[in-house]
Amino acid sequence: MFFPFSVLYFSVFSSIMVHTRFSSASATPSPASASSSRVKTRSMKMKKPKLAKKSKKLKLTSTDDCAVSLDKHKGAKISTLNKFDPITDMRALLSESQLADFSQSCFGHLMNLPNFKIQHQLIHNLLLRQLKQPNNHEIWIGVGGVKLKFGIEEFAVISGLKCVGNSDKMRFAKPTNNFLSTYYSGYNIICKSAVKSSFFLKEWENDKDAVKMAKLFFLHHFLLTSSTDTHVPKGDFDMLDGDKFDEFPWGKKVFRMTVESLKNSGKTTSKDNYYRLTGFPYVFQVWFYESCPYLNGKYCEHNGSSIPRMLNWTTDYSGRFDEFYTTLSLDSVQLQLKKITPTAKEINELDLGSLVGKSKNVIIRNKETSQHDSDDDFVEPVGRAVKGVSSVEVVSRSAISLSMIFKILKNVSYDARTLSRFRAEGPEAETSAEYINLQPLALGAHNIYHPGNVHSAIWGT
């Protein structure tokens, strides 16, 4: 009596089909039978909508990528000393000739800034979308499924401040300083409040010193904003006295202070969830205006094409957290997100040649999910997260299984014929060593040809 080999072949191929379907649903083969693997696949499918719903709710990025906890810092209170007031004060206190001289300085272009308000809740919303990344001199924001970078190149394009050159103040050190001895004689430590007081009292003796005092006031009360009891470095006075002030790359120092404040302030540990931004955070605000044209006409107004770009924006609206949060939860297409790319004219006028090209991928989409809605591009795609196996791996496993199948069929066919011969010879033959080695096939036709058993024979599970 011979075994029905047609049933055997069918069983083996059925096992291959079961395994292929199983491989597409899990990273590693399961030791369970085909029926249990189908149950497991159904279980995964049931979890998929739940995962999708959770990722949809986040709207910004996966929580593992966020540098700031949304739950802990959502209702934060923010303040900053970076306001339009110093520009108003300078226009009122300086004469026309003094203003004209100041306009020729390294800060002169900023006197043309339109009136503005710092939108604290917009900045806070952006900081809640701050992504973890290793560069301490950059901020990456995840909005609408897109990663946006704010670095020194973007800062220079927006602000127009000098961001290239040697930033070592010691090369300007002077043993004696006429400006200090004239206006701050007897001071052991000069604070920002003293600089403001001298400027408001118009203590200068001539127009040249008036412009010098205006530069110092503008630097420490508009660009490097911080507490009024902060000390002013002697190097700043040495550069003023030596007429080297305009040569210094102040943009580097302002950028560094601003980024450090933005990166750390959102992680406030104060009980009332309060923090103060220092430096020049308005540049960060305008950077996002440029990156997100959708905001134009809603929270701000764009007019003109001046260089630098922050001269073209104005806003008199503070805004609320909830409305900014709702807006930033839209996808990248609605927000019209774009990267900041300096024009040839900007590169020439702002001396950006050494900065442009250093940073790449200013705007990066998640390549694996670019084919579907970018709303949750920072969340691992649900399908891939569940499957956990690449198409290459599936193809590789399928190729291996096809190469093994013929060997399995050949061996099983031989063993089945040998077992039939032993049974035909009688009970004595069944005690031989060769017959004992074939005992697995003595389970009966039902078990021999069961797809689960053939699956185990092929895949070793």
| Per-residue pLDDT, 195 | 97
> In this prediction, what percent of the chain has a pLDDT beyond 90?
55
pLDDT at position 155 over 90: yes
The pLDDT tens digits for 84-111 are: 999 999 999 999 999 999 999 999 999 9
pLDDT at position 48 over 50: no
**Model pTM?**
0.65
CA gap 442, 419 in Å, rounded: 8
pLDDT at position 6 over 60: no
Of 64-78, 171-185, 204-218, 337-351, least confident by mean pLDDT is: 64-78
Q: Radius of gyration of the chain from Cα atoms?
A: 36
| Per-residue pLDDT, 76 | 80
pLDDT at position 77 over 60: yes
**Which tops the pLDDT comparison, 306 or 403?**
306
**Which tops the pLDDT comparison, 146 or 76?**
146
Query: Kind of pairing, strands 274-277 and 77-80?
Result: parallel
**Which tops the pLDDT comparison, 267 or 116?**
116
The pLDDT tens digits for 381-409 are: 323 333 333 333 333 333 444 545 555 55
CA gap 69, 339 in Å, rounded: 26
